[in-house]
Amino acid sequence: NAGVTQTPKFRVLKTGQSMTLLCAQDMNHEYMYWYRQDPGMGLRLIHYSVGEGTTAKGEVPDGYNVSRLKKQNFLLGLESAAPSQTSVYFCASSYAVPSGSSIPGPDTQYFGPGTRLTVL
Amino acid sequence: GENVEQHPSTLSVQEGDSAVIKCTYSDSASNYFPWYKQELGKRPQLIIDIRSNVGEKKDQRIAVTLNKTAKHFSLHITETQPEDSAVYFCAASTGAGNKLTFGGGTRVLVKP
């Protein structure tokens, strides 16, 4: 049981280049999230998904796209990278229903190890 | 949308003393309040959480209190140890999509 994994761990891009970050979870979680963390700041939600084939915008979605073709994977794409996208990116996942409950609601989000992205 | 403010931004305590971090939230519909610990270069990890139907929760040296009327919640760490040194984040969720809104973080340094 690997939990939440992210690929790659580090990446350096030039302005205008594109890339895709992969998040995978083996906990059968329905919900998945992408956050960015900038120095001295908390985590900000970029996009999230409440199930296979669904995505929604978070707090800071501009410049990013996502896809969730399979339940276990959540992809984050940068079509044309900008220096402002230099950050550490974390993926997270959670169940839709808290353990011990039959009612959908917030539950523990488990985070991946992060991807450190630098855009020159 | 939800807004979470966290204070203080840095906290230095002597080993064995207590540490308290406070957070306020804006959306009265928020019903889930987790606390995450993040060590340098590592991922955030849940240390304790509380739901709106509970006023206090304790787990060994860590406790969280929630005041729904005032819309604030606090993390209490007793008998601090050097391994408690890390950045702590509070968060709040209304349940919609289970989205979390995080506070800005508190860097805690426990001096031996």
Cβ proximity of B99 and A58 under 8 Å: yes
- Residue A47 distance to chain B (closest CA, Å): 10
A115 SS3 class: strand
- Predicted confidence band of residue A36 (pLDDT cuts 50, 70, 90): very high
Q: Which two tokens stand for residue B57?
A: 């929760």
Which pairing describes strands A65-67 and A73-78: parallel, antiparallel, or unpaired?
Answer: antiparallel
Q: Verify whether the Cβ–Cβ distance A45 to B93 is below 8 Å.
A: no
**B97 chain-A contacts, CB cut-off 8 A:** 31, 48, 50, 56
Q: What is the pLDDT of residue A104?
A: 67
Q: What is the pLDDT of residue A115?
A: 97
Tell me what the mean pLDDT of segment B18-26 comes to.
98
- The residues that bridge with A97 in the sheet, in sequence order, are none
pLDDT at A105 over 90: no
Q: What is the pLDDT of residue A67?
A: 98
Q: Cα–Cα distance between B106 and B108 in angstroms, integer?
A: 6
Q: Verify whether the Cβ–Cβ distance A111 to B34 is below 8 Å.
A: no
Least confident piece of the model among A68-77, A109-118, B14-23, B47-56:
B47-56
Cβ proximity of A9 and A23 under 8 Å: no
Tell me what the mean pLDDT of segment A13-36 comes to.
96
Cβ proximity of B21 and B7 under 8 Å: yes
Tens digits of residue pLDDT in B34-75: 999 999 999 999 999 998 888 999 999 999 999 999 999 999
Q: What is the pLDDT of residue B74?
A: 98
Q: What is the pLDDT of residue B68?
A: 93
Tens digits of residue pLDDT in A85-97: 999 999 999 988 7
Least confident piece of the model among A5-9, A104-108, B40-44:
A104-108
Q: Is pLDDT larger for residue B33 or for residue A104?
A: B33
| Residue in the structure block whose two tokens are 């339940």 | A71
**A56 chain-B contacts, CB cut-off 8 A:** 97
Nearest to B95 among A33, A105, A108 (CB): A105
Element (H, E) at A100: none
pLDDT at A99 over 80: no
Q: Hey, is the C-beta of A34 within 8 angstroms of any chain B C-beta?
A: no
Tell me what the mean pLDDT of segment A66-83 comes to.
97
Tens digits of residue pLDDT in B81-111: 999 999 999 999 987 788 999 999 999 999 9
Three-state SS string across B17-85, please? Answer: CCEEEEEEECCCCCCEEEEEEECCCCCCEEEEEEECCCCEEEECCEEEEEECCCCEEEEEECCCCHHHC
Cβ proximity of B89 and A43 under 8 Å: yes
Q: Cα–Cα distance between A29 and A97 in angstroms, integer?
A: 10
- Residue B3 distance to chain A (closest CA, Å): 11
**B102 chain-A contacts, CB cut-off 8 A:** 42-44
Cβ proximity of A112 and A92 under 8 Å: yes
Give the chain A residue whose CA is nearest to the CA of B97.
A50
